[in-house]
Amino acid sequence: MQAEQARYTEEFAKLERQFNDIRREHTKAVVALRQAERQVEREKEKSAEQLSLQQKEYEIKLGKSQSQLQHLEKERNTLMATVRQEGFKVPRLRPKELSGKLARIYTSSLTFSHFLGHVLAMFLNQQ
């Protein structure tokens, strides 16, 4: 009976060691999982911040572009009024046609005054 009790005690000690080993592995896994969750959360916050900064940057660029467009439209209207006052007949192009032609000329021009010269020549040639 004592031999049997010694065997059970030994077996119990072995099971207890296995249980403690498993508990340690489980604890390590939980710690690793929490670290991974924190890392994912940090990356999400960083991505959200970067997206917010990009959005602000694009909004600023859009505002500048809209302001520049308004300035150019005012300048164009002033030039068109001046051309009409000088007696030139300027055809009224649909906005899509005009913007396409002007964009091609402007992107190939070196300076704004050069661009305006092309525009004036284009209108004069259409008469």
Average pLDDT across the chain, whole number: 81
Report the predicted TM-score, pTM, of the whole model to 2 decimal places.
Answer: 0.49
Calculate what percentage of the chain has a pLDDT beyond 90: 41
Give, rounded to a whole angstrom, the gap between the first and last alpha carbons of the chain. 122
Res 45: pLDDT: 95
Return the axis-axis angle of helices 95-108 and 112-125, rounded to nearest 10°: 130
| Average pLDDT of the segment spanning 77-81 | 85
pLDDT tens, residue by residue, 82-110: 888 877 776 665 555 555 555 555 555 44
